[in-house]
A and B are shown apart, each in its own frame.
Chain A
Amino acid sequence: MQVKRKLSEIKELLQATSYTEHNLEEIYTETVCGADLLSDVLAFTKEKTLLLSGLIHPQVIRTAEMLDLAGVVFVRGKIPSQEMIDLAKTKNIPILSTAYPMFESCGLLYKLGLGGNFLEEK
């Protein structure tokens, strides 16, 4: 059984910074996806998933928007530009940034009990 976690808990665990005004106490996720290939994310990711990515450009946010993802965490200390922050606010996508690299970020969240997600291909 997978657990649900608040984005606020995840933010604390990853010592992350939040860039939008979302109330992270009220947003939950039970699955996480770590990816730098947006094509993969678009093909296989369930809604309400939290995306961890080392990519940093506006299309990451648009991908999250199309898929109704719970939010995006930029790893390895990548800081979103003002333009990306504005886009994330407009599209209602929480975005965070953590100093941990991808592997460590995923490991910490996995230990927290969060699962991955893999939509079976039709």
Chain B
Amino acid sequence: MKKNKEQLLIKDVMNEGVVSVHPEASVQEAKDIMRSRGFSGIPVIDKDNCLLGIISVADIIRALENDALEALVKEYMTSRVITINANASVGQALRLFHNHKFGRFPVVNNEGEVVGIVTHGDVIGRLAVFLGIDEEPLDEEKEQEPINKEFIPQIFEYPIRALDFDRTGEGASSLKKILAELGVSRDIVRRSAIAAYEAEINVMIHAREGKMTANISPQEITIIVEDQGPGIDNIPLAMRKGYSTAADKFRQMGFGAGMGLPNIKKSADKLFVENTCKGLRLIIKIMPEKIA
């Protein structure tokens, strides 16, 4: 991808080398780390580098009120964490900060591993330097930087909720709409929608709860569907046409023919299926410019 050099990405402004705490550590330990490093929140990461939550000053105060500094971090952390991709733009980060009251977001790579942390101050500070507004007042004579009018990489995130069968498919539907609005060709929109929908249906049928994330650039659409489910023991077997462990009630709805994963593979240019510490992860890549 021809990256516009004027575009500032999260990976350019984030703090690498994350200070984290283990879920089994005590709240006291978390509090000490936060005090010595001067942080008001740190990510909770287990030995598999899986992000489980974030523990903040507010969580520590709750523990203090309960006189529970000996309790485990995992009992007091906030487990619904909103993450941002390292390749997101700072504009997207600003929107996240605006929409959520959190002061910091863990930064993840395409594999979902935590690679850094970004605070509101980091973004604003670096943005000021980047725009030159921390040095000198804007001079009307000065040449204005051209605004990037190109297709900006878009990040999109959608939760797939437990037992919400009627809403399943909303993630794929939103993705389809965004792609169409971005002017992506019909065939690519359709292939992306089918792959995303089948993946969403699988979370619903086989795992129940999960999340869909999409990274959209003109050269590549990456759809990541992660769930908190049992994962798959034998992935090559699950990829075979006709292999299914779906419950009868889903078969009666017209699913569970063992054709979902093969159809995702057919619709995608690349498909990676892997077990994570929490469940299953599908990484679906569709390349608009690839000539079939």
Contact = CB atoms under 8 A, between A and B. Distances in A.
Interface of A: 35-43, 47, 53, 55, 57-60, 62-63, 65-68, 83, 91, 121-122
Contacts, number: 73
Interface string B41-62: 0000000000000000000000
B168 interface: yes
Contacts of B266: 43, 121-122
B168 A39 contact: no
B254 A38 contact: yes
Given A62-B197, A68-B190, A83-B166, A55 B253 contact: yes
Interface in B130-188: 165-166, 168-169, 172-173, 176, 186
Cβ-closest 7 pairs across A and B = A38-B254, A62-B169, A39-B257, A39-B259, A66-B193, A43-B263, A66-B197
Q: How large is the interface on B (under 10, 10 to 19, 20 to 34, 35 or more residues)?
A: 20 to 34
Nearest to B266: A122
Contacts of A67: 190, 193-194
A72 to B, nearest CB: 12
A59 B254 contact: yes
B93 to A, nearest CB: 31
B169 A66 contact: yes
Contact of B173 (A35, A37, A43, A91): A91
B253 A40 contact: no
Given A37-B254, A38-B254, A40-B257, A58 B166 contact: yes
A58 B197 CA distance: 13
Contacts of A83: 166
A60 B190 contact: no
Interface of B: 165-166, 168-169, 172-173, 176, 186, 190, 193-194, 197-198, 201, 253-260, 262-263, 266
Given A43-B266, A66-B194, A67-B194, A38 B255 contact: yes
Nearest to B187: A47
B173 A39 contact: no
A47 B266 CA distance: 16
Given A66-B172, A67-B190, A83-B166, A42 B197 contact: yes
A35 B168 CA distance: 20
A43 B142 CA distance: 57
Given A39-B255, A59-B165, A59-B201, 19 more contacts: A37-B257, A39-B259, A39-B260, A40-B257, A42-B197, A42-B259, A43-B259, A43-B266, A53-B254, A59-B166, A59-B253, A62-B168, A62-B169, A62-B173, A65-B173, A66-B169, A66-B176, A68-B190, A91-B173
Contact of A42 (B166, B256, B263): B263
Contacts of B176: 65-66
A91 B193 CA distance: 13
A43 B262 CA distance: 9
Contact of A36 (B168, B254, B259): B254
Nearest to A47: B190
